Amino acid sequence: MAALGLRGRLVSGLAAIVGMIALPALCFALRSVGPAARVVFFDYLPFEELAIAGAAAALGASLGPPAARGLRLLPLRAAARPRLRLIGLALLLSWIALPQLRAFPASASAAERDAWARARVRHYAALTRVVAAVPEVQRDVGRVVAIAPTGGDAHRFAREMNGDDMLFVLEVVGERGRGVFHADCTLDDHRVYGWNPGRWLSRGREQRIDAVPERVPGAP
């Protein structure tokens, strides 16, 4: 009996550790696939990510032993129905799945994609003004009439102390044509703090955009 009790404690502890690792991994995997992965946001102070990781780890540790009992790795007579834990799991997974319901509308029109980004990405509007003012863009397509994140590429932005790091692929529509602009920069509504060489694709050719003005066009 003593040996059985020791084995049970070892299995229970191992199941708790597995749950503590597996459930957070599952949660972040769910947030990294599907429509919500089209535009990924990284906060400067990731309180939400830490809260998700902590809640998932605690819940995973508590669900590990009941799962082991369900797999007959622990005696069934020691099992209690984990209703509260399952309710907690359902709430956590609902929280994780919520971004999928508000995800970037990749298959929508350019106007809808642009409106989505303007509503959710803090300095996206400033980025569109910077791109629209690039001389190579104006030369190839004329006056820009529409800009939107592309539907088939992944986009990223992260909040920093001096602005937002922006990694966007933009569909640009002008009066005389259209093209695609790859932007990788750090900016706010007034200034461009960092600019990595961009790429402009239009009329079957690709051009490297090494620099843009430091001041965001239209900024007061």
pLDDT digits (tens, 9 = 90+) for 12-67: 667 677 767 777 777 666 666 555 556 776 655 556 667 767 776 776 677 666 66
What angle is formed at CA 38 by the lines to CA 181 and CA 219, rounded to 5 degrees? 50
The model carries a pTM of: 0.66
What amino acid occupies position 64?
Answer: G
Phi, psi dihedrals of residue 10, rounded to the nearest 5°: -65, -45
- Which residues, including other chains, have CB under 8 Å from residue 120's CB and lie 6 or more apart? 39
